[in-house]
Amino acid sequence: MYSRRTHLFVVALLVVLAGCAGGGGGVPSAEDADSAGGSAGTDDGATGDEASDSDAFELGDPERLLRDAGSFTVTWSYSGVDASGAEIEVTREFYADLEAERSYTRTTSATDGQADGGNIEQFVDGGVTYVRFGTGDDAFVSSQEGSSEVLGTAIALSQARAYGADDDLVSAGTETFDGVTVDRYELSATDEALIRAGSVSAQGEPGDFEVTNFEYAVLVDENGLSRHESWQFSGRADDQAVTGAWEFSLTGVGSTTVEVPDWVDQVET
């Protein structure tokens, strides 16, 4: 028997793969990723009570911590091969200087190595939002009063809290990331096996997807901020080999600055 969250993860992958297989370069969204929580369990049958306090997976409040820091950079990327054999790449970047009330975001996407029209840039400065669609001479730039909340959007791309809620991750030592000492946590071998078994049990769902490998790791700093996360999976869908890899990085905490993009001067009035 596998948990409901393992089932949700498998179904979420089916949705992602079905979207990408639609012939139009479908893109996994943050909402898709939010649905893909792991299953409960700990490595070697250990319970939360048996783990030492120093090894416990704990997260701080990212919104409070990043507002206190004043600035940050978040990068989220996906690359994979869907059930149609198409190679999909998506990158989302967020640069925020909360004290200066400035932010810059960029989304790019490509199918089979070719940009597919999904290039969007947004710059917010002092309550005015500037948006640029496309690239080169075909780009269109506009502006409007008002601003969007980049902090909430950026931290929503982190999936660590979904795993940490049930202590699904086990300690794997310490390392350095972005000049900061971080604790590394990985999905337990037990949970990886449950996800693979869950995908087999889900046969008969639209798309018939079987996971053959799944890995997840997260790096957490001393304040409980998730600094880096990586997902990788491989499997088969409709007799086609499929793969996927997600990465989330939080860098430049307290040191990110946001410059005015050159294209802001091109805004159409």
- Alpha carbon distances (Å) from 254 to 66, 162, 225: 8, 25, 13
pLDDT at 71 over 50: yes
Q: Poorest-confidence range of 66-75, 80-89, 157-166, 201-210?
A: 201-210
Please name the residue that has the structure tokens 């890995």: 215
**pLDDT for residue 196:** 56
Q: Poorest-confidence range of 121-125, 207-211, 230-234?
A: 207-211
**pLDDT for residue 29:** 41
Q: Poorest-confidence range of 3-12, 54-63, 67-76, 159-168?
A: 3-12
pLDDT at 11 over 50: no
Question: What rounded mean pLDDT belongs to the chain?
Answer: 76
**pLDDT for residue 91:** 94
pLDDT at 151 over 60: yes
pLDDT at 167 over 60: no
For 165-256, list the strands marked E by DSSP: 169-177, 180-187, 209-220, 226-237, 240-251
Q: Which residues pair with 92 in a beta bridge?
A: 76, 107
**pLDDT for residue 261:** 94
Contact 139, 133 (CB under 8 A): yes
Q: What is the mean pLDDT of residues 87-109?
A: 94
Sign of the Cα pseudo-torsion (128, 133, 136, 138, in order): negative
Task: For strands 240-251 and 71-81, give the pairing.
Answer: antiparallel
**pLDDT for residue 192:** 59
Q: Where are the domains of the chain?
A: 4-99+151-258
> Dihedral angle at the C-alpha atoms of 18, 24, 29, 34, nearest 10 degrees?
0
**pLDDT for residue 168:** 67
As a whole number of angstroms, the distance between CA 116 and CA 189 comes to 37
